[in-house]
């Protein structure tokens, strides 16, 4: 056992984050996310939500300071009146670990799927909130 590793951290996810380099991207996807938009390397965390996992990951995972938007969200479809309340929770979590927060941008659904498919890895969650998907771009430790 190691000290200070969150109990929910799968060893495979810690290994993946250690393997990733500057500019590599990690997809956190909600329970409704399509396999079409996932990379081959995937860690299943079905019993957990994205906020819980984001909180765990950002303790170790620096966001890229050299890009304007190191976090990408899936934009709400144009004809959908839904307002993703979970995004505000992501911003609150980001502020605890990153000086400038997560600095996100919203990508159109198809563009998000295409980018998600090219990520280094994904974490498949049991998140039930809609539009809860997020891609994180890894930065450097300074």
20: in domain: no
Order across the sheet with 25-29: list the strands: 42-45, 121-125, 25-29, 134-137, 71-74, 104-107
Q: Check pLDDT > 90 for residue 142.
A: no
Q: Please provide the DSSP assignment of 7-21 as one string.
A: TT--HHHHHHHHH--
Q: Check pLDDT > 80 for residue 1.
A: no
Burial 78-115 (b: 16+ CB within 10 A, else e): eeeeeebebbebbeebbeebbeebbbbebbebeebbeb
Q: Check pLDDT > 80 for residue 52.
A: yes
Single out the catalytic residue among 30, 33, 90, 113.
Answer: 113
Strand partners, 63: 138
6: in domain: no
CATH number at residue 44: 3.40.1650.10
Phi/psi of residue 73, each to 5°? -115, 155
The domain containing residue 62 runs over which residues? 25-137
130: in domain: yes
Single out the catalytic residue among 22, 66, 82, 100.
Answer: 22
75: in domain: yes
Confidence of residue 12 (pLDDT cuts 50, 70, 90): very high
Report the pLDDT value the prediction gives residue 36, as an integer from 0 to 100. Answer: 86
Q: Please provide the DSSP assignment of 70-111 as one string.
A: SEEEEPPPTT-----THHHHHHHHHHHH-TT---EEEE-HHH
Strand partners, 43: 123
142: in domain: no
Respond yes or no: is residue 30 known to be catalytic.
Answer: no
Q: And the tokens for 104?
A: 């996100």
Contact by Cβ (8 Å): 9, 45: no
Respond yes or no: is residue 48 known to be catalytic.
Answer: no
Single out the catalytic residue among 33, 64, 90, 131.
Answer: 64
Average pLDDT of the chain, as a whole number: 96
> Total structural domains in the chain?
1
pLDDT per residue as tens digits for the range 69-127:
999 999 999 999 999 999 999 999 999 999 999 999 999 999 999 999 999 999 999 99
Respond yes or no: is residue 64 known to be catalytic.
Answer: yes
88: in domain: yes
């Amino acid at each position: 056992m190691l000290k200070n590793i969150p109990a929910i951290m799968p060893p495979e996810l810690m290994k993946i984050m250690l393997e990733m380099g500057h500019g590599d991207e990690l997809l956190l996807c909600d329970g409704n996310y399509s396999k079409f938009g996932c990379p081959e390397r995937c860690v299943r965390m079905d019993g957990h939500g994205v906020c819980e996992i984001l909180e765990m990951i950002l303790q170790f995972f620096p966001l890229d300071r050299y890009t304007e938007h190191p976090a990408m969200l899936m934009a709400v479809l144009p004809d959908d009146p839904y307002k993703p309340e979970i995004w505000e929770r992501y911003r609150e979590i980001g502020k605890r670990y990153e000086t400038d927060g997560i600095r996100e941008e919203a990508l159109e659904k198809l563009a998000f799927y295409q980018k998600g498919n090219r990520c280094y890895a994904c974490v498949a969650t049991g998140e039930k909130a809609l539009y809860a998907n997020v891609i994180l771009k890894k930065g450097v430790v300074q």
